[in-house]
């Protein structure tokens, strides 16, 4: 197992119980979808996994080691393996920098990493960013553009290029398609699927959209009011034993 979460609970200071004894595990190279309506605790879970939020109860291990360590030196190793893509790419892309500089930020932080997509030695930094743009389906000559000169879908592709630049083994995506048009959403989902098929990356895909989750993920976990009410392999999506809340989500998305 690559990622194991056991009995994770989170209570915010104002008394909100955002997560209640949530447990699940993901194998290396698998994609798990965390689905639920607004306020169900999805982002809290994602933020805890990224070490951006603390928790008191539960245990999270990644390849046998506690995730998001507290020690700074260990945190660096963690960041090397875990990257993220958020709904709002403006939080990841500095509007004052040409996109190639933002794309290269993780690689600049981890100079010891030589990603496998760099097949030729001696590429300039800008050329490396161009390689990454190509991987995510963008034109190489976009490299000098600023985030403000890109569409929402293009910005999200740039955020993905940045996240995969250091070839993380775990990618946490928190509603990466939520602010995009339906057709662009499909393109981004296809891109993530293609990336997952060509790498051994484990993806944790957080979404309120069970349709998107069922397109991308092999495993699905359903959260409601901080409780994990259902957990299943995608092939069991239409099983009669699905929780009534999962059935309601399926019906609302009209994919039954
Ligand atoms: N920093 C915080 N302090 C107090 N309560 C919080 C905080 N962040 C989230 N919450 C509460 O925790 C619960 C879960 O929120 P969370 O953002 O994890 O849900 P979500 O499923 O991601 O929702 P959405 O899809 O709307 O982003 C909500 O009731 C929310 O109001």
What interface predicted TM-score (ipTM) does this complex get? 0.96
Give residue 15 CA to ligand 1 midpoint distance, Å: 12
Q: How far is the CA of 152 from the centre of ligand 1 (A)?
A: 24
CA of 237 to the centre of ligand 1 (A): 26
CA distances from 213 to 24, 200, 203, 206, 221 (A): 16, 19, 11, 8, 10
- For the stretch 175-186, pLDDT in tens is 999 888 899 999
Is pTM beyond 0.90 here?
yes
Residue 95 is encoded by which pair of tokens? 């509007």
Residues at CB less than 6 angstroms from ligand 1 = 12, 14, 16, 18, 36, 38-44, 208
Q: What is the DSSP letter of 93?
A: S
For residue 174, give the ligand 1 atom closest to its CA.
Answer: 22
Number of residues written out for the chain: 256
Residue closest to 57 by CA, chosen among 11, 15, 2? 11
The pLDDT value given to residue 255: 62
Q: Which long-range contacts (CB under 8 A, 24 or more apart) does 76-79 make?
A: 78/51, 79/109, 79/110
CA 41 to ligand 1 centroid distance, Å: 6
Q: Write the DSSP symbol of residue 166.
A: T
Instruction: Please state, in angstroms and as integers, the Cα–Cα distance from residue 163 to each residue in 65, 113, 172, 235, following that order.
Output: 22, 14, 10, 29
* Secondary structure (3-state) at 155: helix
CATH architecture of 3-252: 3-Layer(aba) Sandwich (3.40)
pLDDT in tens, 11-50: 998 889 999 999 999 999 999 999 999 999 999 999 999 8
Instruction: Supply the residue whose CA is at minimum distance from atom 25 of ligand 1.
Output: 38
What is the average pLDDT score of the chain?
A: 91
């Amino acid at each position: 197992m690559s990622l194991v979460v056991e009995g994770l609970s989170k209570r915010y200071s104002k008394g909100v119980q955002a997560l209640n004894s949530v447990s699940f595990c993901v194998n290396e190279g698998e994609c798990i979808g965390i689905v639920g309506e607004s306020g169900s605790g999805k982002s809290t879970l994602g933020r805890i996994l990224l070490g951006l939020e603390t928790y008191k109860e539960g245990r999270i291990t990644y390849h046998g080691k506690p995730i998001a360590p507290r020690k700074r030196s260990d945190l660096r190793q963690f960041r090397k393996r875990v990257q993220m893509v958020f709904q709002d790419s403006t939080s990841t892309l500095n509007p004052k920098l040409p996109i190639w500089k933002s794309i290269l930020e993780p690689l600049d932080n981890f100079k010891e990493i030589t990603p496998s997509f760099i097949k030729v030695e001696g590429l300039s930094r800008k050329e490396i960013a161009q390689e990454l743009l190509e991987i995510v389906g963008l034109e190489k000559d976009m490299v000098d553009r600023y985030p403000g000169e890109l569409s929402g879908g293009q910005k999200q592709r740039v955020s993905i290029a940045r996240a995969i630049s250091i070839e993380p083994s775990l990618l946490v995506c928190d509603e990466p398609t939520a602010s995009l048009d339906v057709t662009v959403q499909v393109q981004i989902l296809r891109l993530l699927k293609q990336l997952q098929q060509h790498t051994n990356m484990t993806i944790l895909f957080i979404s309120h959209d069970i349709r998107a989750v069922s397109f991308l993920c092999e495993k699905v976990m359903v959260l409601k009011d901080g409780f994990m009410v259902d957990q299943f392999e995608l092939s069991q999506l239409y099983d009669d034993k699905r929780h009534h809340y999962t059935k309601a989500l399926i019906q609302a998305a009209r994919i039954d």
